[in-house]
Amino acid sequence: MSPLNILHLEDSPTDAYLIEQMLVRNGVNARLVVVDKPDDFCDKLATGKFDLVLSDSSVPGFSAIAALHHVTLKKPGTPFICVTGAGDRITSRVLFTAGAADYIVKDELEKLPASIRQVLDRPKPAAPASGLQRGTQVLVAAVQSLSLARDIETIREIVRRAARELTGADGATFVLRDGDHCHYVDEDAISPLWKGQRFPLSTCISGWVMLNRQSAVIDDIYADARIPADAYRPTFVKSLVMVPIRTTAPIGAIGNYWASRHQATPEQIELLQALANTTAVAMENVQVYQELEKRVRDRTAQLHSANQELEAFSYSVSHDLRAPLRAIKGFAGILQLDASQNLDETSRLHLSRILEESARMGSLIEDLLRLSQVTRSELNRESVNLSDLVTRICNGLAVQNPQRQVELTITPQLTATCDRGLITAVLENLLSNAWKYSSKVQGAARVQFGSVHQADGTPAFFVRDNGAGFDMNHALRLFAPFQRLHSAAEFPGTGVGLATVQRIVHRHGGRIWAEAQPGRGATFFFTLPPAE
């Protein structure tokens, strides 16, 4: 059996090699012609005979949709498979609607050989469509491509190719209004016309179309007073159709040219005007999209600046508070050592309270510093055995509280890709909370670390205790700084720890939530998505 001839549009040599090797290893006898530029793709398609076309989702200046559109016109019936690095439901839907045979993600290349066999085993398509049907197909493909365009360059590329192919013309031009001038932005023609040039609106037919807000249909350019004949004599043009891009306040024009006398049909004019109308919508969409992007960038910059100021303020305040606090603690300690015997009971109690509150203030400052540092530190992701980490933390808590008897359950070999230092802070906080809030239970205190599978199959890790719990009606306050659901007299703390935990989990791209009942304990769940 002779090898399949496959035209492959791919700008990554590595991906092209891997795709070829996948076919070879799976017994697909094929000769691949790999191209990485739109012009080379179009040239090979026009001059070669291919059993199949493979295409990346995009190469610079050319999308898979544009490639399929070109295949449909030049080699109708040739199967087309998109092989892309990133799955995109919108693009895949548009490609299938436009006639693509399949859509394969590069992470699943093993599916490609079977797909090729299935595609080639399908019945051959019917005979090529008529001129009007073909024009309609071109228009549909162009409309779909324009709906996805996000910049003027992409619109220009789509319109340049589609305008000529819509009517089988010998040339097409894409003109934009530039103040009082017509700017011939791009063209697709059998020989050069006026690409890149500018002319006053009053001296060219595209200007007439924009100023009069109507199309111009001219079968003999030398018999029409609106045409500057001298400008056309060096060109091949004998007949033309020019339509405005938007009839209200036109922003440009699209033109078709023929090298011999040609009377454009009403259908051809309608097709070209439909392309122009869609182009107007696409250009307006691009403007809206770019404005939204700018707003998002500006808003992001403002938020970034505000966050930087807030973090700097928090860090500065925390540092500036340390010095006077050290002085208070130091002098109060000296007073307690040197003069407590000369103080009455009430004064000694006041002095003791000063030292206790100083220690609490010190803990609060440390927590504030930790909270401010979380957002500034870089994430150094690595594979971390969370079970081993939990075991070490719990051993430390047991040493600090030798009088406590806690039943500890740790699911072994739970791992995640995360920042070891930051995730240690998360687990220390959650486990110390579980230790603290289970300290007053009747009977045995129990603390558990494990994981559960979510609906999408990814794990959610959890720390569970059988302690004081809380009312879920107040759960939204859990992760706000300085918010506490229990009094400091009952369970000491600063109210900053869970805010820090949430920031760390969010920085990893995960989420954290809690479930609890008063007097029946609490469970804190968190996720750690894999690094991209």
416: nearest Cα among 479, 462, 478, 376? 462
pTM (predicted TM-score): 0.41
d(CA 206, CA 177): 9
Give dist(CA 259, CA 261) in Å, integer: 7
Helix 112-121 vs helix 13-25: crossing angle, to nearest 10: 70
Q: What is the pLDDT of residues 38-78, one digit of tens each?
A: 888 888 988 889 999 999 988 876 778 778 877 877 788 89
Looking at the fold, whether 171 and 287 belong to one and the same domain comes out as yes
> Are both 315 and 191 inside the same structural domain?
no
Q: Give the separation between CA 106 and CA 124, rounded to whole angstroms.
A: 27
pLDDT score at 128? 47
Residue 460, classified by CB atoms within 10 Å of its CB into exposed (0-12), middle (13-18) or buried (19+), is middle
531 is a domain residue: no
The number of beta carbons lying within 10 Å of the beta carbon of residue 248 is: 8
Domain termination residue (choose one: 64, 96, 128): 128
Q: At which of 98, 128, 158 does a domain end?
A: 128
Does any domain span residue 251? Answer: yes
> The domain that contains 41 carries what CATH number?
3.40.50.2300
pLDDT at residue 127 in the model = 46
- Three-state secondary-structure class, residue 124: coil
Range of the domain at 506: 381-526
Nearest Cα residue to 201 out of 175, 225, 173, 239: 175
Positions of the chain with pLDDT under 50: 127-130, 486-487, 489
- Cα 430 from Cα 258, distance rounded (Å): 76
Neighbours of 336 (CB within 10 A): 15
CB 250 within 8 A of CB 283: no
C-alpha to C-alpha distance for 522 and 511, rounded to whole angstroms: 17
The CA distance from 116 to 20, in Å, is 13
195 and 91 in a common domain: no
Q: Are residues 213 and 89 in the same domain?
A: no
pLDDT per residue as tens digits for the range 142-151? 777 787 778 8
- Indicate the helix (H) or strand (E) that contains 80: strand 80-84
- Considering its fold, how many domains does the chain have in total? 4
The reply to whether 453 and 514 lie within a common domain is yes
pLDDT at residue 123 in the model = 73
Report the candidate in 235, 194, 239, 203 with the shortest Cα–Cα distance to residue 219: 239
